[in-house]
Amino acid sequence: MIRKHTTLELFIIEAVKKRRLELKMNPSKLSKEIGLSRSFVRQIENLDLGNRYSVNQLNEIAKVLKCSIIDFFPQPYVEEDCIEEFQIIHPPKAKKY
């Protein structure tokens, strides 16, 4: 399986999902509450698609899930080099001249 997320991105996705499940909220309801398409959260949680949350989306999700945005981030950080991971997952495209 080809990896589509960095360690940090996976942590964030799982943290949002965990909090959502604690509140017994389904993905469609969370998507609707933050004003996005019904399938938005489901697409993020489907790790095969490679979608990820933006910090702006995380802010709105924190409001709906009644928590702090910091609850979605590891403390104090992940050990892995996330920039290196991102570059491996998303190698730069060759420039066309």
Over residues 48-82, the pLDDT tens digits come to: 999 999 999 999 999 999 999 999 999 999 999 99
CATH code, 60:
1.10.260.40
Domain-located, residue 97:
no
Domain-located, residue 1:
no
- Could you tell me the end-to-end alpha-carbon distance of the chain, in angstroms, rounded to an integer? 33
Q: How much is the pTM?
A: 0.92
Quick one: the chain helix, strand, coil %, rounded to 5? 55, 0, 45
Domain carrying residue 54: 7-89
Cα–Cα distance, 8 to 86 (Å, whole number): 10
Q: Tell me the average pLDDT of the chain.
A: 96
Question: Considering its fold, how many domains does the chain have in total?
Answer: 1
Domain-located, residue 95:
no
